[in-house]
Structures are given as structure tokens and as C-alpha cells.
Amino acid sequence: MDRRTFLAATGIAGLGLTVTLPTRASAGTLVRSLDELRAAIERATPDTVITVANGTYDVPAPIAVAGKRGPILIRAESVGGVVLTGEQSFVLSGSSDITLSGFAFRQRTTFDVPPDCRRIRLTRNDFQLADLDGLHWVMVRADDTTLDHNEWHDKSKLGIYLGIEGAGTDQMARGVHITRNYFRDHTFPGDNGGEPIRLGVSPRALSTAGAVVDFNLFERCSGDPEAISVKSSGNIIRRNTIRDSLGGIVLRHGNVTRVEGNYLLSGENGIRIYGNDHLIVNNYLERINGAGVVLGSGSVRDHYPGEPSKSRTGNDAPDRVRIALNTVLDCESAIIGESHRTLPPLECAVTDNLLMADSGQLVNMPFQDGITWSGNIHWGQSLDGNAPVAAFTRVDPRLAAGADGVRRLSSGSPAINAATQVYPEVDLDLDGHHRMGRADVGADEYSPARVKLRPLTATDVGPHAR
């Protein structure tokens, strides 16, 4: 599908948020007890604003938001000033256009956004639920949910921070937007089951979610090798920063996902790919202890409707995946494949990437027949590996580190205007500069203009960010 058509179809053509807030400016109703809060919610009509006075509230019974049509805003008096403890807090059902803002959630059960709701927004909240083994903290199954400027932190047990699923057993919630959130400090020592974001599960892999996960920061997220685990189709993963974490970005199940403009820094895992028709473009990976990019192999060729459950959990061999215009620096390996499954990639392309390191090898691709290569630049003391001779040029790209530590092209770099392919669907580079004419190799399009987009820090995300 054409990129602009896809973005329009999913309602995410811009980088800003589409939110549902009351249209009339109002100080709203100030409530000072749970009984007053429940009564105010029961009376609420469109454009109602309910403000909860600061304090800690032990919630003995759920705060029901049932059958409400907004926009309705329920907010803390100040961000983080209302702490909700107890078994549950808000329980949503049959409602739409509801915003919950500024709360510190400390409950002992999963916060659920069910599929009979729509256009629910969770914003500027702090999630530190009970650290119980197997407890997932937030589960979203409602279409058009927005989660922005929240913080998830300090979990040491099995369980995910945020899961996106949908109705029934094989459908995904559509149009979910996850942006400007801060995920940090998940220290579960196991090797599976501690993802910060799990976007689907294997039975839902072929369902088109149309989710956007952008401008989120992940730090010290080491509960799973997958910080962003994608198990659904038709998503966009862009402009996120993953730093000092075990987890990387993994397209585990599903098709047609775009991974663009992400920073993966000083971690253990980079970007790993299964499934079909993905675009991996403009990403910057530096000092990954494992491989920067892994183009997987398959135990099944393609997943299909009605597939047996055992087969559905298998790895789908990549078909028609494009890995282009990425910068991979000082990783153990830059781009590799897998040989422990029997089905190779087919009709994939690795083009116009900038690969550089002083140790290890840049490329180790056991299956070559299903891959086309062109225009890559290699540099450093590392070995070229088994990249075809015609796939790369070994030349100094003349990188220079900026104040943010990112190494970008300098004037006179041989990477400038050196791309061998055209990329009409790639408008911007890693920095937010327009790709002009023939693209530059790697994630950076050389420009003397001010850098618009940089790696995110804690001041850019979470409840108190602008």
C-alpha cells in the first residue's frame, strides 16, 4: 500500500496527537472523596471536567465509568498528586471519549481498556502497579486508544508494562497511538515475558492494528530481549529511543510494519525481523553488544487464517523486507541472518546502509539467494564478512559526532548523494531533514541546518514533559 494512503487509512498522517478533550474551557467539579467522584461520574455529560483533589485514595471497590459518552475529562488536581491504591481503580465499560489524566496508579490488578470502549486517552499518568509475578500492568483492547506522556517503571517480576490486543481471540484494537511515554527499569531476570510494549500476540498476527508507537523512551528495560514486541500487522514504529537495555525492536509476527528513525544505543539487541513486506529505514544503532539488524529465518513460510495454533507460534520467514538507509556503528555485527531455521528470506533487499566498526564482522548472512544488495558503505577495522563484493564500497564516510553524541555525515563525505536506489516513500532522514534528490547513504542526510530530531532524554517524555 502507498505510504500516504496507509497513513490516511490509519488516521495518523501527522506527527501530532489526535485527542478528545472537552470543548468548553471549564474549571470543572472538584471532588474530595471517592463517593463524590463516583457521583460526579454518574452525572457526567459531554464536556464535563472532574478534578480529583490531591491525596492518596485506597479504592475498596472499582470506580465505574460505564456507558458514558464524552468528551469527559477526569483528572488529578496536579500531575501525580492523586495516588490510587487498592485492588482496582477506574473500570471502564461501554464508554467513549474519556480522558484520565495525572493519576499515580498503584493498584494490584491489571488496568484494562476493554473492546466495548472507544477513543480512551490515558495521559500524564504514573504506572507502578503491584510487582506481582505474571501481572500485566496495562492492557488495551479498545480502538483508537491514545496513551501519551505516561511513565511505567520499577518492575522486577514476570509481566509486561503495556499490552495491545483486541476483541475475541484473533483481532487487534485498531488505531492505537503510543507516544511520548517513558518506560524504564524493568529488571525481571528471565529471558521472556517482560516486554515494555507487546503489540499483539501470535493468534492476532494477521490482524491489521494500524498502531503508531512513536517518540517513546526506553531505559534499562531488561525484562525481555524485545523492548517493542510486534505481533500484529500494519504498524509504524518510529522515532523511539532505546538506551542501556536488553530489549530491542522485534517484528516477531505479522506483516507490513514500518520501523523508521529509531535510536538503539548501548544495548544488547537491535532490530530483528520476521514476516513480510516490512520497511526498516533511517534507524541509528550504536554499540549494540549483539547484532544491529537480524534478518531472521523461518520455521514456516507464511502464516495464514485458520492456521493450527502450534504453527502460528512459529517464526515466519521474511519475504520482501527492505533494510535501507540505516546507520549501524560499533556493534558486534552490523547485519546478520539466522541459520537455525530452514526457511530463508525471499526477495529481500539490503541497500544503502552505512556499516562501521573496528572489531568483529559487519555482515554474516547464511542465506544469500533471497537477498539483493547494493550501495552499502563499509568502514573500520572490522571484517566485511560474507557480504557480496558488489554489495558495498569500503570508504571512510567521514562521520563527526555532534553535541548529542550522534555521528553524522560531514561535508565532503562520499556517502552524500551516493544511494543506489530511489526512496519516494522516505521523506525525512533521522534528524527530520528532508531527503533531497538522490539520497545519502545511511540514516543521515547531510545538511548544515539545525538538527530537528535527536535521541530522546527523560525530559522529553513522561508526565511532566511539555
Asked if 52 and 79 count as a contact pair (C-beta separation under 8 A), the reply is no
User: Who's near 389: CB < 8 A, 6+ residues apart?
Assistant: none
What string of H, E and C letters represents the secondary structure of 260-303?
Answer: ECCEEECCCCCEEECCECCEEECCEEECCCCEEEEECCECECCC
Q: Would you call 181 helix, strand, or coil by DSSP?
A: coil
Inter-residue contact 237 to 257 (CB < 8 Å)? yes
Cβ burial, residue 43 (10 Å; 0-12/13-18/19+): exposed
Q: Return the amino acid letter for 144.
A: D
End-to-end CA distance of the chain: 34
Q: Report helix, strand or coil for 319.
A: strand
67-to-35, 74, 384 alpha-carbon distances in Å: 19, 15, 61
Query: Which runs of consecutive H residues, i.e. helices, occur in 299-438?
Result: 309-312
CATH 2.160.20.10 fits 110-460, yes or no: yes
State the pLDDT at residue 311.
87
Alpha helices in 304-370 (DSSP H): 309-312
pLDDT of residue 16: 46
pLDDT along the chain (466 residues), means of 10: 36 44 64 98 97 98 97 98 98 98 98 98 98 97 98 97 97 98 95 95 97 98 97 98 98 98 98 98 98 96 89 93 98 96 97 97 95 98 96 98 97 98 97 96 96 97 96
Q: What's the pLDDT at 20?
A: 54
Cα(343)–Cα(295) distance, rounded to whole angstroms? 12
Residue tagged 494477521 (cell numbers): 206
* 174 contact partners, CB below 8 Å, separation of at least 6: 10, 143, 144, 166, 208, 209, 210
Say how far apart CA 290 and CA 333 lie, in whole Å. 7
The 3-state DSSP class for residue 310 equals: helix
Of 79, 123, 126, 131, nearest to 98 by C-alpha is: 123
Which of 26, 24, 76 lies closest to 51 in space, CA to CA? 76
As a whole number of angstroms, the distance between CA 380 and CA 446 comes to: 21
Beta strand pairing call for 407-409 and 399-401:
antiparallel
Beta 197-200 vs 226-231: how paired, if at all? parallel
Q: How far apart are CA 259 and CA 147, in angstroms?
A: 19
CA-CA distances (angstroms) from residue 35 to 63, 68, 102, 226, 286?
A: 9, 18, 19, 42, 53
Which residue from 198, 210, 215 is spatially nearest to 144, judged by alpha carbons?
Answer: 210
Q: Check residue 25 and give its pLDDT.
A: 40
- DSSP letter at 169 equals T
C-alpha cell at 147: 496513551
CB 324 within 8 A of CB 352: yes
360 CB neighbour count, 10 Å cutoff: 17
**C-alpha cell read off for 129:** 502497579
- Count other Cβ atoms within 10 Å, centred on residue 158: 18
Give the pLDDT of residue 279.
98
- What is the pLDDT at residue 22? 59
User: What burial letters (b/e) apply to 308-335, b meaning 16+ CB within 10 Å?
Assistant: eeeebbbbbbbbbbbbbbbbbbbbbbbb
pLDDT for the residue numbered 26: 53
Alpha carbon 430 to chain centroid distance? 16
**According to the model, what pLDDT value does residue 431 have?**
97
And the C-alpha cell for 11? 488516521
Cis amide leading into 345 (omega within 30): no
| Burial of 53 (C-beta count, 10 Å sphere; 0-12/13-18/19+) | middle
